[in-house]
């Protein structure tokens, strides 16, 4: 929100991005009324924004429903092109995924969410469609918990206060006291494991990626049922994941800071 920036804040830009943000993986095609509700706009205003964005090529429409067009990728492509971490991480993730026959990923923290910036998938498909750019609530994921645990306490609590902490499955740690305790444990032991808390059948383990003394990202391995035993996690998954994260950290650390 604008806050104290009213002298320069352009409200129409905020509304434009509210309209674009209305299109999600769960609702990729939406009507004018649906966008109006999601973006907190009147139907007439939403229609004007949608038609303008369609004319500019950022949306497409069949006359009833709208969806993002390929040109919308331009908004994020420049950021990804200048983010060297994905390119550095990819060969290490490929090796990790091949060794474990599991999906390996790297995420960064963005507000209250984690964003996937690199991913190498195993041959089998997960129940959740995940790709580069996918966002999940940080508190409910192994990578997010690693990243949150390394924030200073005030920043961490502020992000958690802004998060919608709710129960996704019977396994979800949705109590703030328990979540704070879990984040403290993650910080102390250096890794996080989440077992079917965000979606049934989806489990993962994550460790930090560092640049110098700063945790800048997290690396993750998705856990298939045959790799969920504690012995397998400690003897196979974690050592190989830590090795990959350390290799990514080493390669990333030699790149000059922008």
Q: How much is the pLDDT for 6?
A: 67
| Amino acid 257: pLDDT | 40
Looking at 1.10.390.10, 1.20.1430.10, 1.10.10.10, 3.40.640.10, the CATH number of the domain 11-71 comes to 1.10.10.10
Distance CA 181, CA 188 (A): 11
Average pLDDT over residues 45-64: 94
Task: Give 200 or 5, the one with higher predicted confidence.
Answer: 200
Q: Between vectors from CA 123 to CA 210 and to CA 223, what angle results, nearest 5°?
A: 50
Poorest-pLDDT segment among 14-28, 49-63, 119-133: 119-133
| pLDDT of 231 strictly over 80 | no
Q: Where are the domains of the chain?
A: 11-71, 83-253
Which of the pair, 168 or 35, is modelled with greater confidence? 35
Residue 83: pLDDT over 80: no
Distance of CA 133 to the CA centre of its chain: 7
Mean per-residue pLDDT for 93-105? 92
- What pTM was estimated for this model as a whole? 0.68
d(CA 252, CA 199): 32
Pick the more confident residue, 87 or 77: 87
CATH architecture of 83-253: 2-Layer Sandwich (3.30)
As a whole number of angstroms, the distance between CA 194 and CA 209 comes to: 18
Measure the CA dihedral 9/15/20/25, to 10°.
110
End-to-end CA distance of the chain: 28
pLDDT at position 237 is 86
Please compute the mean of the pLDDT values over residues 172-191 and round it to a whole number. Answer: 91
Least confident of 185-189, 193-197, 245-249: 193-197
Range scoring the smallest mean pLDDT among 24-33, 163-172, 179-188, 226-235: 226-235
């Amino acid at each position: 929100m604008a806050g104290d920036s009213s002298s320069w804040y352009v409200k129409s830009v905020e509304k434009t991005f509210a309209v674009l943000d209305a299109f999600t993986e769960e609702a990729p095609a939406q009507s004018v009324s649906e966008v109006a509700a999601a973006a907190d706009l009147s139907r007439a205003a939403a229609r004007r924004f949608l038609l303008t964005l369609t004319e500019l090529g950022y949306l497409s429409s069949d006359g009833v429903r709208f969806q993002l067009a390929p040109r919308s990728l331009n908004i994020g492509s420049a950021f990804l092109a200048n983010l060297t971490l994905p390119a550095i991480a990819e060969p290490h993730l490929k090796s990790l995924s091949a060794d474990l026959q599991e999906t390996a990923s790297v995420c960064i923290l963005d507000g209250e969410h984690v964003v996937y910036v690199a991913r190498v998938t195993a041959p089998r498909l997960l129940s959740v469609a995940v790709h580069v750019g996918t966002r999940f609530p940080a508190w409910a994921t192994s990578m997010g918990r690693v990243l949150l645990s390394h924030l200073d306490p005030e920043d961490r609590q502020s992000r958690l206060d802004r998060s919608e902490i709710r129960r996704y499955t019977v396994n979800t740690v949705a109590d703030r006291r328990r979540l704070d305790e879990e984040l403290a444990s993650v910080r102390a032991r250096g890794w996080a494991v989440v077992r079917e808390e965000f979606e049934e059948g989806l489990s993962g383990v994550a460790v930090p990626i560092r640049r110098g003394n700063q945790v800048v990202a997290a690396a993750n391995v998705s856990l298939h049922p045959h790799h969920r035993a504690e012995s397998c996690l400690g003897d196979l998954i974690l050592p190989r994941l830590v090795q990959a994260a350390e290799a990514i950290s080493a390669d990333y650390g030699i790149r000059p800071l922008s």
